[in-house]
Amino acid sequence: MSAEIMRDPGRFEPIIQFSIHADNKVGRLNEIVGLLAVHEVHVMAISILDTTDSSIIRVIVDYPQEAQKLLIEHQFSYVQSELVAVELKEESDLKVVTCALVQAEINIHYIYPFLVRPHGRYALAISLEDNELAADTLKRNQLRVIGQDDIAR
């Protein structure tokens, strides 16, 4: 029986991020984005950490299982991780997010915005030291924590 069938349909699925190691050469980002696009995997959020010799391209996509297959098939080196994503109704909710995490003494490793979200809402992808505690904290502060199912098209 496949994992999809055994999955609890109401279960929260965390946001999956791929951190792709890429040589720092012209066209590499275009190659990755093009590969995903051809297979109808949409980049929902992206961040790039650039160094002299290489880059780390962090992406969140709507269909991570398909993206994983493509990255393996095309021999891209990557690390997969879970992030907390939070929906914001307005820009001022950013302060609510940061205050809630500070009060719970949860360190933020990095944060970046989503490119696209349904219904015109803003959203942030957040790498934290304790995802479970952070998600609970954000929910207690009347913020909507979103999961992978919320970003699938």
Residue 5 pLDDT > 70 = no
Last residue of a domain, one of 66, 81, 96: 81
Which pTM was predicted? Answer: 0.87
CB-CB contact of 128 with 82 (8 Å): no
Residue 56 pLDDT > 90 = yes
Q: Which residue shows structure tokens 């190659």? A: 31
Same structural domain, 142 and 91: yes
Same structural domain, 47 and 100: no
Residue 48 pLDDT > 90 = yes
The CATH number assigned to the domain holding 66 equals 3.30.2130.10
Section 70-74 average pLDDT: 97
Ramachandran assignment for 93, one of left (phi > 0), alpha (psi -120 to 50 degrees), beta (any other):
alpha
Section 83-102 average pLDDT: 95
Residue 18 pLDDT > 80 = yes
What's the total number of domains in the chain? 2
Q: The domain containing residue 9 runs over which residues?
A: 3-81
The per-residue pLDDT for 1 is 36
